[in-house]
């Protein structure tokens, strides 16, 4: 049973798909993002983009107001982004800073939200990437940020992390998601090896409902071949 969900990054490509699917399944959804998602029941709009601590305070206060005394059964953090650059790039630090803000800030705040608003036995998901399990010389900031998210997942899944009892904490590690932005940037790629947003959204919905949840602390690689996707523990 799943009645209320927070989608962190609810206006992005994957976040929008998650909100859409959750609503089709009669789930109350709050979207946390820079821009409102009109399909959500409530929107938590982030305006503080310069201070991590201030952004946490803003999000916690606005989520508390949106929930109005209720808790949620799942927090699905699907916020993120991509930027390239090797060590010679003049934008190395700039892009790494952007990746940290888009992936690590959001995931860490989502973890804190779980300590306050997630029901016991709920689920918290993080947006990892398979690239973050190995070297990423052409996109150093991206790889660093995703590796940090994987470590966060392991930490929050461990005893004494502060989250509610019996919470399942997992990170999903796609290779390439089939998003409009990725298709635009890589028009000649083999799209049959990209993971569809529908697959990921349906997977997260299933787990939110308590069905076939993976082991707590799992990092789960999404391997897509000829349009078929398998979930493989890393």
Q: Point out the residues that are catalytic.
A: 142
Neighbouring-strand partners of residue 195: 177
- Among residues 125, 128, 175, which one has the least CA distance to residue 151? 128
Task: Please give the Cα distance from 179 to 195 (Å, whole number).
Answer: 9
- Helix or strand or coil: residue 148? helix
The DSSP code for 83 is -
Residue 173 token pair: 């590690």
Query: What DSSP string runs through 110-145?
Result: HHHHHHHHEEEEEEEEEE--GGGGS--TTBHHHHHH
Task: Please give the Cα distance from 79 to 46 (Å, whole number).
Answer: 12
The DSSP code for 85 is B
Residues sharing a CB contact under 8 Å with residue 231, sequence separation 6 or more, in sequence order: 203, 214, 220, 221, 222, 223
Residues sharing a CB contact under 8 Å with residue 57, sequence separation 6 or more, in sequence order: none
120-123-126-130 Cα dihedral, nearest 10 degrees? 130
């Amino acid at each position: 049973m799943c009645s209320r969900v927070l989608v962190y990054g609810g206006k992005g490509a994957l976040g929008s798909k998650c909100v859409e699917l959750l609503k089709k399944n009669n789930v109350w959804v709050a979207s946390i993002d820079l821009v409102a998602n009109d399909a959500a029941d409530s929107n938590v709009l982030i305006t503080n983009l310069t201070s991590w601590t201030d952004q946490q305070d803003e999000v916690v206060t606005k989520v508390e107001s949106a929930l109005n005394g209720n808790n949620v059964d799942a927090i699905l953090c699907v916020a993120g982004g991509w930027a390239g650059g090797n060590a010679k790039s003049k934008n190395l630090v700039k892009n790494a800073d952007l990746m940290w803000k888009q992936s690590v800030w959001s995931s860490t705040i989502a973890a804190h939200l779980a300590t306050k608003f997630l029901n016991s036995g709920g689920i918290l998901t993080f947006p990892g990437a398979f690239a973050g399990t190995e070297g990423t010389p052409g996109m150093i900031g991206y790889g660093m940020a995703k590796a940090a998210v994987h470590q966060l997942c392991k930490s929050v899944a461990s005893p004494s992390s502060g989250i509610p009892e019996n919470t399942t904490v997992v990170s999903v590690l796609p290779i390439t998601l089939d998003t409009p932005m990725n298709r635009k940037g890589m028009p000649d790629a083999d799209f049959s090896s990209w993971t569809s947003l529908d697959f990921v959204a349906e997977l997260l919905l299933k787990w939110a409902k308590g069905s076939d949840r993976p082991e707590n602390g799992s990092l789960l690689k999404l391997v897509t071949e000829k349009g078929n996707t398998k979930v493989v523990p890393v």
